[in-house]
Structure 1
Amino acid sequence: MTLRTLLLATALLAASSVSAFAQSDDVIAAPVLRANVTVSGDLVRIGDVIDNAGPSAQIAIYRAPDLGTTGTLPTSQVIAALRAHQVIGVDTRNIQEISVTRLARTLEAKEIELQIAHALEHHNGLGDAANISLTFDRTLEDLKLESSYTAAIQSSSVRFDPRNGRFDVTLAIANASVATPTRLRFSGTAVETIEAAVLARGIERNEVIKSSDVVIERRPKAEVGNDVASRDRVVGMQARRQLRAGQALKVADLAKPDLVQRDQTVTMIYETAGLYLTVRGKALEAGTEGDVVSVLNLQSKRTVTGTVIGRGQVSISIATPRPAAPDTTSSIAPDEPAAPVSLATNTNTPQVAPKTE
């Protein structure tokens, strides 16, 4: 009878314990493992790797991977770390490993270079940022910052020496959770450049430049000067002298192409009111459009001058005779008395006395 009573009491105690656990489960959900974890700081906490972590959520269990990278952890290792902090009964959902990604703000090298160019723009004689070429003392690479650095990049210090082209620029980036901004310092040389038409091959004197002979490159402005020629201004022009490949062309290197060559047979054009005449001639000198050249008329063998108006064409001007000027030596103005005419007396002529009666 005593044994039967003991067994009944044990059964009732077990039933009450099961009921108590069931009520507890209704209040606090079981912890569940996450397959993918994202952190913004340098530590991985219990609340990052499981849902329903409760009071243990802020306990750090791992160091986070490097900024902007992702690492993996075996599930068994994570469960062991949780168990060490009295977190048990985790639902792993049959996950074999979890991935942990650390957020970061990435500053690309190109973005940094652009910010420095804008900081140097119009500084101590430099031009627009788009025309500034930078060379850094150390290789410029992408930079990664904590994800809390959300502010825009500002230049806090700018120095440039135009004598040697050296620059020293400090950029500042504010952090939402830190009062003092992070400062990044860069140094190197800055050169203002300009687009220039550069020869792809050597050009002989008086040779006409074609489109395929020219490429566009950026060259230091101090090297090419202010009279650098653009591509549109180069093509179709004639070289004043021999030019080498790789040379940046200047306006002074170019001339309009000769439309008439020395000793070339040309068409001489005589044109005036009601008259249009063409005659073959021989150019005695070269000339471009608008130049005045000497031409030998092959019919009359006379040398005349004319203006080059087209390829192999010279316009000869026909002089129009001017009307004769009026003879004013014998004209008398109206209503004006005539001046007395004096006759010169020849003193060598004998005088005849008047005859008297």
Structure 2
Amino acid sequence: MLGMGIRPNLAIFNNIVEYVSSTNDSDTPLEILELMEERGIWPDSYTYLLVLHNAVRLMNREKVDRILHKVTRVNLLSREPHIVNKTLHAILKFRKTTGIGQEVPATETFEAMLEVYKRAHKVQPLIDLGLIPESNDDGKYSTTRSRPPSSTLALMITAYLNTQPRLFSIWQIFRRFQDLVSAGHRDFVPMLRTDYIFNIFIMAFRCDSRAIAKCFRIVDYMLEPLPKAAFQITRAGLRLPLAKARPSKITWTILLNILICNDNIAAAEKLHQKMKERGIEVNSMAWNILIRGYAQNQMVEAAAKALKDMEKESWLPDKHTVEALGLIDNQELLRTMLDVLDSNEPESEPEEDDLTTAREW
């Protein structure tokens, strides 16, 4: 490009970074960003967002740290909402990788995210939900900070729920969320548009069998009509109708996984069947979860049958299927059961072309 007399500008560099970031190369995007700095072509928020997203996607902690260090040196950049959102995502995603055998405590992760959040957004929604206490400093930058988007609030809620070991505390937060939605809170009502916030709360209950009933109560809430006060309020103050998200296949798969993790095989089988009846796609992840449950409980025949049913529905076994089946102690019995099921399958009907060929022959 330089040999052709073309002097790259910001737009050209961004196109190059975007292309390279679509690959599994975590080195080149950052090298291009630093080349831009050397040439006096200062990257904009989009450049940093591309490079940061690529490093997070590839789980390269060292690159993420270097990029975030660059971001924090530019005050306006560190307050840009999209950069803040991706920074929060990076902190949350890397919370368990501080060193060999070391984990960042959940409270420390939340505090680190809170500091980043405060650079760009108002803290009042976090106070309203009960995630942080009210402080005398809260109003200091309130006029210069923006309202947080739903995705940013979801990240903060996820981080906070990780700090709560007690089921009662998690349920209190969810009930508070419901109350705020019913009151028409302009920051929390828009979160109803997707299943993400509900999946977050369901996941928070995944480790305790006593909370399974609460998981299904959350699903029931998703199926309820919108509260009368639940409108989306635009910047101009207009009240627009909102479509409330219903449980998605991700929601049902999370529930299936929770039942399996808590050894409730019978309930998992019922839920699996209910998913089919509701027309919800039972993908390879859901099949692998069910197979893992059977394998953990040494239900060899059920595991073998589930594998065959999975294949009949055109889902190919993957490494997770193999790992799940590896939990079965009696591998010889598993092979025998698979052979029996194969032998019991009816032979496929010949294709019309094959019949025509046979007649001609």
TM-score by length of 1: 0.18
* Structure whose residues are more often strand by fraction: 1
